[in-house]
Structure 1
Amino acid sequence: MRESSHPPAGPPLAGLRDRIAALSGPDAAPSSRIATGHAGIDAALGGGLAAGRLHEVFAACADEAASAAGFAAMLALRAGHAAGEQALLWLRCDDAERRAGGLYAPGFAELGGDPDALLLALAPDPVALLRAAADAARCAGLVAILAECWGNPRILDLTATRRLALAAEQSGVAVLLLRIDAQAMPSAADTRWQVAAAPSVALDANAPGHTALSVELQRQRMGAGGHAWRVEWDRDRCIFREPALSGALVPLPQRGSAAAAAERLLRTA
């Protein structure tokens, strides 16, 4: 395979390699399934999200960047919770900081993560980002890698995603490629997701409800795509679950079925 002619990454990313190397464990780990907690998603995925694979998470539109980033972070936290570890690497380009602002540590903690276990690295461009992601993906000491990429850089082609996928398979680390304001292209990703915000159900005393998202499994390499769900995130247990009921009740009829009564209620609403 021909090596890229791009210049090597700068000193900040070179230092990152040393920190990643300190976490290194055995060379390769067999792929396993990470149960998400949501029965529908786990059934569609054959038991859960595959560790040691590359997964793409797309924002439904540029305005849904926070929703997609949240979902990717939740998947990483779920992987960490299942493994009993929390070492997570989040890679971003400098332009992501300019366009979306810096990562908010209290917000990450609100999702159930430990900001002290989050290693954040900034790359000057997509070339350096992908090189750092490939280097990090070979480190079995990490639970997950989240690489955030905006737009459709030319370097992010099928060959680049194959390198990421192979590195993930060698280490057993889940690699989440977060795509913002981007169009889907051919890739070696095991799954591709599209994410948007969803309304949450208020708690008692009208307190803000749990984080809710609309997620669509657009494709998976070893199964069918085209599935969509609305999910809630349980930060205490680090799992996805079915949304809570809204609390609205359909009155039971004295005669006939409850389904018929609900249908009449909808027609008159």
Structure 2
Amino acid sequence: MIESVNTLAALRRHIASLEGIPATKAGARIATGHAPLDQTLQGGLAQGRVHELFGRNEDEGAAAGLSLIFAHLAAGQSPMFWLRPINGAAGQPYGPGLAALGIDPAYLLIGVMKDDALLLRAAVDALRCPALGSLVIELRGRAPLMDLTASRRLALAAEASGVTAFLLRIGGDPVPSAADTRWRVTAAPSVPLPGNAPGMTAFDLSLLRRRSGPDGITCRLVWNSERGVFGEECDERHDPRSDSADTPLPGAVVSVPSARPAAHRAA
């Protein structure tokens, strides 16, 4: 069995070389930095595949944010492309907000399509371009054109070029697809940093389906934009034990004699 698996892997690498897929993309993984998640996924998200992320309408910001962060990890120094329907383009990405996530807005291209049919055709064309780092495909509601056949077209195009696609589904329900993984994304509260400063961006993530392994896992991802990786909630560089009332304040301390009042009363 092991020998047949190794033979199949070698055959895939040979086919990838014949099709001109870069060796770094053939069978590569996108590490998230979240150790339990990466271990479950055998090194991270599969590169050159389609990954679905579902978010309810109230979690639109969280689902979109996580899709862009995943796309950023997949793209590296290559451009990212975000295809959006015209009915969802009212809320535009905020440049300083992207920068706060560690995403350079100069590397993000946005295309707005008037309907889902044009958007899906553009997505297949974009995935055929190996110079693209990653692709985010946004669909809203039921999106009936996003069926099993359409997902297979996307999957084949992604595998041929090595470009990773993230299918962002807002307010939709899962249907059969050829996606490598399927996730449910919700916003999660972040732990405040010292001084009650806002904590790092956090997501609750559930693996609904996986083509080549177990599913059903849940985890909380905390995005460390400075390091460019995900961690767990305890990785937020904040130890709650340090907030004890016995912790002295910084600065010089001057002792006051016990027989002398701390301050003179004003006359």
TM-score (norm 1): 0.78
Match of 1:34 among 19, 30, 33: 30
Cα separation, 2, equivalents of 1:108 and 1:248: 28
CA contact (8 A) 2:221 2:230 kept: yes
The superposition leaves residues 206-262 of structure 1 with CA deviations (integer Å, 9 ceiling, x where unpaired) of 11010011011111100111000011001122211111377445xxxxxxxxxxxxx
Question: Which structure 2 residues correspond to residues 1-269 of structure 1 after superposition, within 5 A?
Answer: 27-29=20-22, 30-59=26-55, 61-81=56-76, 85-98=77-90, 101-244=91-234, 247-249=239-241
Q: Which moved more, 1:239-248 or 1:162-171?
A: 239-248
Q: Distance in 1 between matches of 2:20 and 2:98?
A: 30
Structure-2 separation of matches of 1:222 and 1:137:
22
Tell whether the 8 Å contact from 1:137 to 1:173 is kept in structure 2 after alignment.
Answer: yes
Q: Which structure 2 segments of 5+ residues have no match?
A: 1-18, 242-267
In structure 1, distance between residues paired with 2:72 and 2:92: 19
Which sections of structure 1, spanning at least 5 residues, go unmatched? 1-25, 250-269
Larger Rg: 2
Q: Is the 8 A contact 1:54 1:190 kept in 2?
A: yes
Q: Give the letter aligned to residue 75 of structure 1.
A: F
What is the Cα deviation at residue 199 of structure 1? 0.9
Counterpart secondary structure, 1:215: strand
Q: Is the 8 A contact 1:86 1:114 kept in 2?
A: no
Paired amino acid for 2:21: A
**1:244 is paired with a residue of what secondary structure?**
helix
Identity across aligned pairs (percent)? 46
> More deviation in 28-37 or 205-214?
28-37
RMSD: 1.4
Question: Shift of the alpha carbon at 1:169?
Answer: 0.1
